[in-house]
Structure 1
């Protein structure tokens, strides 16, 4: 008979469960229409306007096909604009529209609130350490090219 794992001690299971909690909180308190990945795209474009899709994928740690889907959807909703790069016609540069900036502004407070709620589930002296540990785990695929181990 195969040996089983104690799921309550299995990091992958716990990360998946933590993501489920985050997704539920996001849907309840931030937005049912805009996902946290879409929020990451909007937020990144606010910080780095005029970047291309490849750069956006790298900065958000999302794969290019996911970013492509998100860009298409947010462009259709008129939250993002796309223009050809005059220096390199193969590239499309992305920017928030005024509606996209307004949407992002309305989401930031609630996003910060659920971040606090998640961290408040930990003792105060462990919060910074927990975020640091999650950053380390999340950076495991940040090889020299940022494309994985």
Structure 2
């Protein structure tokens, strides 16, 4: 029996990578939720608003595809955002079976504030990172994504 310490790569391959990424994601969401709470926006709601603003999704189907949600969960999330007055559903002239999502005036006013507090949270999360560290992190995470998609 070997007393050799497993390599970091071996540890990652035994499941540590998935656990670590899940833990980081959870930590990021918790930090963002704390920052967004005074604005009455959750991180999931902010992500939807951000997708709409960036043009990544204007329909329920778009958002389900981009965010990997099922339609029932996305419908419930959108209903909560509509109830808060941040978005509205408008008729989709191109496809009467769906509606388009757009920010309301209230959503347009809240989004820049939410964007600022998320930036503050991310800067805190990246505290102590140099530009080189951030570039390396980006490159390594990008490589994992490429490998996951080519799989």
**TM-score between the two structures when normalised by the length of structure 1:** 0.75
Bigger Rg, structure 1 or 2: 2
Q: 1:133 aligns with which of 132, 140, 143?
A: 140
Does residue 24 (structure 1) correspond to residue 30 (structure 2)? The answer is yes
Relative to its length, the structure with more helix (as a share) is: 2
CA distance in 2, matches of 1:28, 1:101: 21
- Asked if the contact 1:75–1:81 (Cα under 8 Å) also holds between the matched residues in 2, the reply is yes
Q: Deviations over 1:16-67 (max 9, x none)?
A: 22123212321332326422221111011122298211112233x2313332
Unpaired runs of 5+ in structure 2? Answer: 1-9
Aligned counterpart, 2:87: 80
Q: 2:76 aligns with which of 69, 76, 82?
A: 69
Matched length: 138
Give the root-mean-square deviation of aligned CA atoms: 2.8
**TM-score between the two structures when normalised by the length of structure 2:** 0.74
Does residue 13 (structure 1) correspond to residue 19 (structure 2)? The answer is yes
CA distance in 1, matches of 2:74, 2:146: 19
